[in-house]
Amino acid sequence: MRGIWLAVCLVLAPAQAFAGAAETIKVQQPWFRYLLPSVPAGGYMVLVNKSDTPTALTKASSPDCSSLMLHKSMNMGGTAMMVPVDSVPVPAHGQAGLVEGGYHLMCMNPKMKLGQPAVITLTFKDGSSLILSVPVYGATHAP
Ligand SMILES: [Cu+2]
């Protein structure tokens, strides 16, 4: 039995050994605000880059969303708007806040449930990725 597990680990090792940005990014306080299946759910967190290398969040995905987009809220002549962005920069020894009113994740057609964490994958500029479990809050609760 032990021999079999060793073989499995060796097969999996190359994929898991790919470190890159995902290894030096710490995610603080991730959460989703979920309202209804028909309303996109906003995803929020702080990405802290502990390394000397600037990076960027370039993609997000989740089995709980038809798509998980990178968005930025902006004020255009007094009107609040959201635009899709290609990436969210995370400076070296700095951080990027995904917050209400700024960069955020937008989960289209959310299939989440209150109190049940959603699983998301964040991919960075170097192709490394991070899988996270994200708590789901409703209209009136936030972490
Ligand atoms: Cu949005």
Per-residue HEC secondary structure of the chain comes to CHHHHHHHHHHHHHHHHCCCHHHHEEEEEEEEECCCCCCCEEEEEEEEECCCCCEEEEEEECCCCCEEEEEEEEEECCEEEEEECCCEEECCCCEEEECCCCEEEEEECCCCECCECEEEEEEECCCCEEEEEECEECCCCCC
Question: Residue 112: is its pLDDT beyond 60?
Answer: yes
- pLDDT for 3: 52
Question: Residue 7: is its pLDDT beyond 90?
Answer: no
CA of 84 to the centre of ligand 1 (A): 8
CA of 107 to the centre of ligand 1 (A): 8
CA of 21 to the centre of ligand 1 (A): 24
Domains in the chain: ranges and CATH: 19-137 (2.60.40.1890)
pLDDT in tens, 49-97: 999 999 999 999 999 999 999 999 998 888 889 999 999 999 999 999 9
Q: Residue 115 — very low, low, confident or very high, per pLDDT cuts 50/70/90?
A: confident
CA of 106 to the centre of ligand 1 (A): 5
CA of 7 to the centre of ligand 1 (A): 44
